[in-house]
Chain A
Amino acid sequence: EAQVTQNPRYLITVTGKKLTVTCSQNMNHEYMSWYRQDPGLGLRQIYYSMNVEVTDKGDVPEGYKVSRKEKRNFPLILESPSPNQTSLYFCASSLSFSGANVLTFGAGSRLTVL
């Protein structure tokens, strides 16, 4: 089944404890992206990647890191999480960054930082 898989789905952590949210897609998509969803703010883009080894900042990149060493994986790293990073996170991918390609989303990762 074509899908985007995120892990963990739920996580409670404490301020300053490094964590990684993994994202993997099995559709050979070039474009991958991370979003956070907060009430009243919709989805805001954190980082995106147009292909392997090519990443760029989205609208809210502060406090996050990403890497794209393989085409299928695009982990989101929080080096020193803070309470304002408590949110619902989504990974998404599409065939390429051009045209009207549709995004396929993961099921989401709910993160709470105490």
Chain B
Amino acid sequence: AQSVAQPEDQVNVAEGNPLTVKCTYSVSGNPYLFWYVQYPNRGLQFLLKYITGDNLVKGSYGFEAEFNKSQTSFHLKKPSALVSDSALYFCAVRVLYSSASKIIFGSGTRLSIRP
């Protein structure tokens, strides 16, 4: 079955430290991978995506993600966390069929940055 897994419900990091939010996927074919962020009482906002090419993708607000095909992972990273990064983060994969497209979301990881 095609799926996306975010193994950590919550990640706690001190401000200024590096952060990693993990994501692994299991899909057939070549996936397009995304990270979205949800702030309280808001809809999801796009952070970054991987289509092809360089395995390190840079996105909004200083975030980046590393695509690893052999480990089927797409972990979200930031070198120095800010309190304002505290939010709910979703990994997603878009799978293309011949005449349709399906987007699968992970269960989400709550990132908490302490001052």
Contact = CB atoms under 8 A, between A and B. Distances in A.
Interface of A: 4, 31, 33, 35, 40-45, 50, 56, 90, 92, 97-100, 102-108
Interface residues of B, number: 24
25 contacts: A31-B101, A35-B105, A40-B9, A40-B107, A42-B90, A42-B105, A43-B44, A43-B105, A44-B105, A45-B102, A50-B100, A90-B44, A92-B44, A98-B101, A99-B32, A100-B32, A100-B49, A103-B36, A103-B44, A103-B46, A103-B103, A105-B43, A106-B43, A107-B43, A108-B41
Given A33-B103, A42-B107, A45-B103, A100 B51 contact: yes
A90 B101 contact: no
B40 to A, nearest CB: 11
Interface in B16-50: 32, 34, 36, 41-46, 49
A4 B90 contact: no
Contacts, number: 55
Interface of B: 6, 9, 32, 34, 36, 41-46, 49, 51, 90, 94, 96, 100-103, 105-108
Contacts of B6: 42
A98 B96 contact: yes
